[in-house]
Structure 1
């Protein structure tokens, strides 16, 4: 009996030959059908080695074989998910018959526990011996070239680089606060930097070559809780903080490159471009030249390139950059007001965007009428620009590098254009991320945020988002909810990755389980 999946594959191949469909379209259709039939795979089981919640997963990029997992109980494990369990079962002892068919961890790093001793009637904490972490492992990632090294970050304020074969720490970077996120660039060819974010405003870059910190990205007003490297530019990194602000950085330039604004949408950008084109046509018809996008466009007499006097409001031409607003009827020349404007440095995360100064009509504010709505927010600063209303739990680029995805603790997903950095207004469903309404864990006087790990298929069409008790499969471009992977974890799902070798999904939950979701084979 021919299985239904083979019939669908044969039909796709016939349509490709008869209708002229491309191989990419046929592959996309087959992948879509396989994703629609994802179910819990009971034949691929991992031994439960973590007693706490699984906080991070990563699959090596070289062979897509070794699965790295970190847990809230400060343990780290590595599994070989392509190992033949039938051969392993024959070599196992009879006492292990209850665990036949489960993947045993190749490497397991225990928690580093500090002992106590008594010295002169005083209880003293001894310095622990070993290489493990003492507190919650918040993030894990493989070295981008091979599986010889992997990186772990923990709440014990350290990022450790491990030798996989020796199971020893080769380098340790100590931070001033619990580490929330750590990542390496998958497209890096000229550096081996590890971006680390802790409960602090600054993001530190760790250099594996020197074993020291090489860069400090300063600009956030709250602690940074998520970050990711760009897949198109090895020097570009995106970070998100606990107040909902997302910033774009370029290591070759000082300061912040851009701040994502959820109110700056594609429609407004298109309207602004159309208005600029109309202004160019009008200027060309009148014989006026566009001034340069620098302060040198203004001559010493306060006149524009066409020789006409600039209006007082036309000097306010920076997109939410100047924290002061012009008061109508103020005294002083335009040159004096430009001189008295507060200087804006790149260290404050500002990207100057000058526009064409327009002439002011008598009795009205024509100088500001030609600006779009997003440019007319008087008195606002860049510090108020936000991508989400609350903490940014996840930041990741799509595999094609054309878009970015961000997830806020309020349950909102947003998609951003990687070229213009505008909100693409994709209507994603509202997500219930945790079963507990309080999404934060209070520890003393500080607030620790539970981050999430998203996954996207290689064709950038399907998004896997962990929620309270299930993994939701969402169309990246339309925002439609395709399916929901549930009845697997006994609690909330914290992280997930996509295995492109088998077109399956691997998820980790608060119950400490790591589960596989794949398309069943029907006879």
Structure 2
């Protein structure tokens, strides 16, 4: 590290190399933070979390109790020990609260004044952060497993929604209506994800073992369906052609540059795909435990070289090297199943002596005692 600093000071090296090296060092040194805690508000398991990208300061969480909480992650006390406070809550006493489990929460990518939640009560709600009242409510015929807003879209304001119905719904935030349906899956859609590289590219994962990639400007169907065998029919059973996994596909995650797509399935496998061609890169991550019947929220590091994947695995979070498949470490701290995790690349915990650490946030579900806990 001193060599990087010396070269940077002399103008001999790119400052981004120093940043990547330090980011990687900190990820490899991740451990449970003894000085930081999070207010315990949820009375049951936590299914989903999201950290806003504007300031990186506020975090949303949605629980199996239907409650939504907004936390302030910033430590303004000047002390090493700090509890992230819940600044506001949509609790059971609110007339607008979801009636059943909240499955996905997401900040509006460009403004913390709005966020979106979806639930097993068959609704997706667009919230005004200031009033904590829904500005728009979309109702569906079945449970809503997942929704996603594009992090880069400028030409559209579409929310992709995956429900118990095999058809993917596209909802327009500007008009407040469902404007389009994508047909091709044969079972419930468990996860949807917009590309962070191209604003019209969408990936969807279903219980039919398939992952489809769409260009929503086209009306002729999906661009392609991912095939774990890369077209080699001799390796695929006749009934399993063009399947991404040998089970339900319940996790999707693009890398930060959008060049690769990761998928997880109930066959206990994780696969890395070229997002442009749909080719299976054949990286072997070994057995990746996945017992979830719903959407699994996992994440990829940003600003590191090499990149790392953080995947809930039982009561721990498994950390893999993205391109080699090596299991780097297991992050432990929960007492029961971890349901979701989110990586924060820029947030630093400030200590009196000036030290800092990167933070990874984990949310746990079905935890008997204590329950509904978020851990750093």
Q: What is the TM-score of this pair, normalised by structure 2?
A: 0.89
Alignment of 1:258-269 (within 5 A): 258-264=224-230
Distance in 2 (CA, whole Å) between partners of 1:37 and 1:86 is: 24
Per-residue CA deviations over 1:147-174 (Å, capped at 9, x if unaligned) read 0100000000000000001111100000
Q: Which moved more, 1:253-262 or 1:76-85?
A: 76-85
Match 2:324 to one of 470, 475, 478: 478
Counterpart Cα distance in 1 of 2:179 and 2:313 = 36
Judge conservation of contact 1:400–1:459 (CA < 8 Å) in 2.
no
Equivalent position of 1:388 in the other structure: 245
Structure 1: gaps of 5 or more residues = 1-7, 88-99, 113-128, 265-372, 434-438, 441-448, 517-523
SS across alignment from 1:13: helix
Q: Which residue of 1 aligns with 2:213?
A: 248
Partner of 1:237: 202
For 1:257, the equivalent position in structure 2 comes to 223
CA distance in 2: counterparts of 1:393 and 1:385, whole angstroms: 16
Structure 1 residue 263: Cα displacement? 0.2
- The residue aligned with 1:463 is 309
Using the TM superposition, name which of 185-194 and 498-507 deviates more.
498-507
Return the offset for 1:14.
2.6
Aligned to 2:84: 103
Q: How does 1:22-421 map to 2 (within 5 A)?
A: 22-85=14-77, 101-111=82-92, 130-254=95-219, 255-264=221-230, 374=232, 384-421=241-278
Rounded to whole Å, the distance in 1 between the matches of 2:37 and 2:243 is: 42
| Residues in 2 aligned to 1:493 and 1:232: alpha-carbon distance in whole angstroms | 29
Q: Is the 1:201–1:223 contact (alpha carbons within 8 Å) kept by the matching residues of 2?
A: yes
**Aligned pair in 2 of structure 1 residues 506, 84: CA closer, same or farther (>3 Å)?**
same
Alignment of structure 1 residues 440-459 onto 2, 5 Å: 449-459=293-303
Q: Between Structure 1 and Structure 2, which shows a larger proportion of helix residues?
A: 1
* CA deviation after TM superposition for structure 1 residue 17, in Å: 6.8
Partner SS state of residue 227, structure 1: strand
The structure in which a higher percent of residues are strand is 2
Consecutive unaligned residues of structure 2, counting only runs of 5 or more, are 348-357
Shift of 1:481: 1.3
Q: Give the Å deviation of 1:472.
A: 1.3
Helix, strand or coil: the match of 2:232? helix
Give the superposition deviation at 1:243: 2.3
1:432 Cα deviation from its structure 2 partner: 2.2
Q: What is the match of residue 514 of structure 1?
A: 374
CA 166–421 in structure 1, closer or farther in 2 if over 3 Å, else same: same
Q: Provide the rounded CA distance (Å) in 1 between the counterparts of 2:237 and 2:118.
A: 40
Q: Give the secondary-structure state (helix, strand or coil) at the position aligned to 1:62.
A: coil
- For residues 446-503 of structure 1, the C-alpha deviation after alignment (integer angstroms, 9 at most, x for no partner) is xxx23211111113601111110111111111111111111x1110111111111223
Counterpart Cα distance in 2 of 1:21 and 1:42: 35
Larger-gyration structure (1/2): 1
Q: State the Cα distance separating 1:375 from its structure 2 match.
A: 6.9
Question: What SS class does the counterpart of residue 30 from structure 1 fall into?
Answer: helix
Distance 1:249 1:40 in 2: 39
8 Å Cα contact 1:133/1:156 also seen in 2: yes
User: Is 1:428 the equivalent of 2:285?
Assistant: yes
SS at match of 1:104: strand
* Maintained 8 Å contact 1:55/1:138: yes
CA RMSD of aligned residues (A): 2.3
CA distance in 2, matches of 1:164, 1:243: 36
2:209/2:246 contact within 8 Å kept: yes
Deviation string for 1:104-153 (max 9, x for gaps)? 211111136xxxxxxxxxxxxxxxx8111000001100001110100000
